[in-house]
């Protein structure tokens, strides 16, 4: 297997090399259902603070599309 | 009529904002849906970042707890997904710092120092006997290659490969320009390639 070769993806705008192909085989590590239950049980005992600002939370922002930040100075 | 019934029969996909709003109104099920929506991708990222299942479990809980207590005052102006991964990355770095397994200089903010130290470039290629026995274990090989990356590259690589984020989303999550995220990703690839070649020589032929 060659790691140095690359070829265009079906999308055409990015190339996919063999590193990409190998890492496509990276299996997901799933959280157990017990862990999810533990988290939700923990949350039920967490006291949520009251809003500190007069403005309501920005829920629309949570659903916003990702803003392209290419205009920021590269670091 | 038939169309209406079909639409009526389909579950309505609530947005993150709607679920957050319902959570604030006291709907615990709404928060559970947020947890279900993001727990897999977050846990995959955290677990791969730390290579520690137990620590990843604790951090996943911390991330969702932080979301829960932050909801009343959340004004991120960014998508919830990016906010969650940002919190997860920061918690992972805290954990690594607590374990003292990375140098402070590696935790610098993006752009403070783009040059890699010579030590960071050299992959950890000395397999132990038990590691030799795992050579055919692709997952172990990939994880070792990830572990050998400097943290700032590791985050980008995992967000891309493990969590399937776009570079725009990675930029948001790591608070860096999208172009920088792409650059880090490309600079990580030679390091991954070097690690994989050294650990699995047949793959390099």
CB B182 within 8 A of CB A14: no
Is-same-fold flag (B12-80; B116-199)? no
**B201 vs A: CB within 8 A:** no
Residues of B in contact with A24 (CB under 8 A): 161
Distances in whole angstroms, Cα of residue A68 to Cα of each of A3, B162, B167, B176, B179 = 30, 22, 9, 11, 10
For residue A61, give both structure tokens: 């922002």
Task: State the Cα–Cα distance between residues B45 and A35, nearest whole angstrom.
Answer: 16
Looking at residue A61, its pLDDT comes to: 66
The list of chain B residues with pLDDT below 70 reads 1-11, 75-77, 101-136, 198-205
- Mark out the alpha helices in chain B (DSSP H runs): 2-9, 16-24, 28-50, 53-70, 80-99, 118-121, 129-133, 138-147, 151-161, 167-174, 178-199, 201-204
Handedness of CA A28, B162, B118, B199 (dihedral sign): positive
**B80 vs A: CB within 8 A:** yes
pLDDT digits (tens, 9 = 90+) for B12-61: 788 998 899 899 888 989 999 999 999 999 999 999 999 999 999 999 99
Q: A17 pairs with which residues across the strands? A: A6
Instruction: Answer left, alpha or beta for residue B175, where phi above 0 means left and psi between -120 and 50 means alpha.
Output: left
CB B44 within 8 A of CB B162: yes
Q: Reduced to 3 states, what is the DSSP secondary structure of residue B27?
A: coil
The beta-carbon neighbor of B72 closest among A3, A25, A48 is: A48
How many cross-chain Cβ pairs, A to B, lie less than 8 Å apart? 173
Q: Given an 8 Å threshold on Cβ–Cβ distance, is B114 in contact with A75?
A: yes
Looking at the domain that runs over B12-80, which CATH code has it been given?
Answer: 1.10.1740.10
Looking at residue A39, its pLDDT comes to: 96
pLDDT digits (tens, 9 = 90+) for A6-44: 444 433 346 788 899 889 989 999 999 999 999 999 999
Looking at residue B1, its pLDDT comes to: 38
Domain ranges for chain B: 12-80, 116-199
CA distance B44 to chain A (A): 5
Looking at residue A15, its pLDDT comes to: 76
The end-to-end CA distance of chain A, in Å, is 34
DSSP 8-class letter at B115:
S
Looking at residue A13, its pLDDT comes to: 44
Task: State the Cα–Cα distance between residues B175 and B172, nearest whole angstrom.
Answer: 5
| Architecture label for domain B116-199 | Orthogonal Bundle (1.10)
**B116 vs A: CB within 8 A:** no
């Amino acid at each position: 297997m060659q790691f140095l070769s690359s070829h265009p993806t079906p999308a055409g705008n990015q190339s996919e090399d063999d590193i990409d192909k190998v890492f496509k085989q990276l299996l997901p590590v799933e959280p157990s259902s017990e862990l999810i239950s533990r988290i939700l049980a923990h949350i039920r005992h967490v006291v949520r603070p009251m809003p500190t600002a007069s403005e309501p939370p920005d829920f629309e922002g949570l659903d916003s599309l990702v803003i392209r930040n290419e205009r920021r100075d590269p670091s | 009529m038939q169309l209406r019934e079909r639409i009526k029969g389909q579950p309505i996909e609530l947005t993150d904002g709607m679920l957050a709003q319902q959570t604030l109104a006291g709907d615990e099920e709404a928060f559970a849906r947020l947890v279900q929506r993001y727990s897999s991708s977050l846990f995959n990222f955290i677990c791969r970042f730390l290579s520690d299942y137990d620590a990843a479990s604790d951090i996943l809980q911390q991330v969702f707890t932080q979301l829960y207590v932050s909801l009343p005052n959340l004004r991120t102006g960014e998508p919830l997904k990016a906010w969650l991964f940002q919190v997860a990355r920061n918690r992972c770095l805290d954990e690594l710092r607590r374990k003292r397994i990375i140098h402070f200089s590696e935790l610098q903010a993006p752009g403070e120092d783009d040059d890699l130290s010579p030590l960071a470039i050299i992959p950890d290629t000395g397999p132990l006997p038990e590691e030799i026995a795992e050579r055919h274990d692709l997952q172990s090989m990939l994880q070792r290659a990830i572990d050998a990356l400097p943290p700032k590259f590791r985050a980008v690589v995992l967000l891309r490969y493990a969590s399937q984020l776009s570079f725009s989303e990675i930029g948001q999550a790591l608070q860096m320009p999208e172009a920088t995220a792409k650059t880090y990703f490309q600079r990580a690839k030679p390091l991954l390639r070097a690690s994989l070649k050294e650990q699995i020589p047949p793959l390099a032929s």
